[in-house]
Amino acid sequence: MLSGLGVAVVLTVAPGCALPFAETDDGATPPAAVTPQSEGEPATPSGAEYAIVSGQPVRTPCWSYEGPEAFVNNVSSDQEEHCHGALELWGELVEGAVVPTGVGAIYGQVSVQPVRVATSEAWGVGTDLGGAVDLLADSYFAENGSILSLHEATTLDGVPANITRVEGSFEETRTKAFITAFAPERFASGTDEVQFFVIAIVTPYDNGDELIEQVTGTWTWS
């Protein structure tokens, strides 16, 4: 089964957007939402191909970006309507390297999780991104790994954003980071509104910074 990572109650996402993101190497099979390749057509790209960080556009009513083509888009249409995203790297170890296969274990992920405005307002920091990151340092980020760097400035479509880097839980993980930002406006998500977003990035490849730059560089608010 998937081995989820602990997360505090303080971070409550919009309906249909589950927390936390999964990072596992236990040979799990994909959930029903995944449409894996058939056994007769295994995905066996070269090292250069499976490390590509672009090639797969992802779009929701709140945001869009272009992610890795080798990752599986594992969200339902309902989750997508609620501005949740999950590109997952399903694969297996081949001679010590993670090879995408569309089945097996999850070795990487680009997960986008919207947080209810009612929740983010309860933090008492308004839309102060630095304050939100500080508040989540121990209650959320540290629960997902030892914090290596809490504050690293970046932008998402011109909007201030922050990168928090943590230590990966598995030997294969090379980069594990969270990008956080308040969107420039509130978005309707079912009966709720969302504005604060958490983008979790995990990769077993050595191009983690390139993947982060790909997400931040192609990100667009709707």
- Note down pLDDT in tens along the chain; length 222 residues: 222 323 332 344 433 333 343 343 433 333 334 334 434 444 444 456 677 899 899 999 999 999 999 999 999 999 999 999 999 999 999 988 899 999 999 999 999 999 999 999 999 999 999 999 999 999 999 999 999 999 999 999 999 999 999 998 888 999 999 999 999 999 999 889 999 999 999 999 999 999 999 999 999 999
Report how far residue 124's alpha carbon sits from residue 132's, in angstroms, rounded to the nearest whole number.
Answer: 9
> Is 30 among the domain residues?
no
**Nearest 5°: phi and psi at 4?**
-70, 160
Report how far residue 146's alpha carbon sits from residue 113's, in angstroms, rounded to the nearest whole number.
Answer: 21
Nearest to 115 by CA among 130, 132, 94: 132
CB neighbourhood size of 104 (10 A): 22
Instruction: Check which CATH number belongs to the domain holding 151 and give it.
Output: 3.40.1000.10
SS3 103: coil
As for how many domains the chain has, the answer is 1
Report how far residue 65's alpha carbon sits from residue 22's, in angstroms, rounded to the nearest whole number.
Answer: 21
> Is 25 among the domain residues?
no
> Is 179 among the domain residues?
yes
> Is 48 among the domain residues?
no
> Is 23 among the domain residues?
no
* Helix or strand run (H / E) with residue 111: strand 105-116
> Is 63 among the domain residues?
yes
> Is 191 among the domain residues?
yes
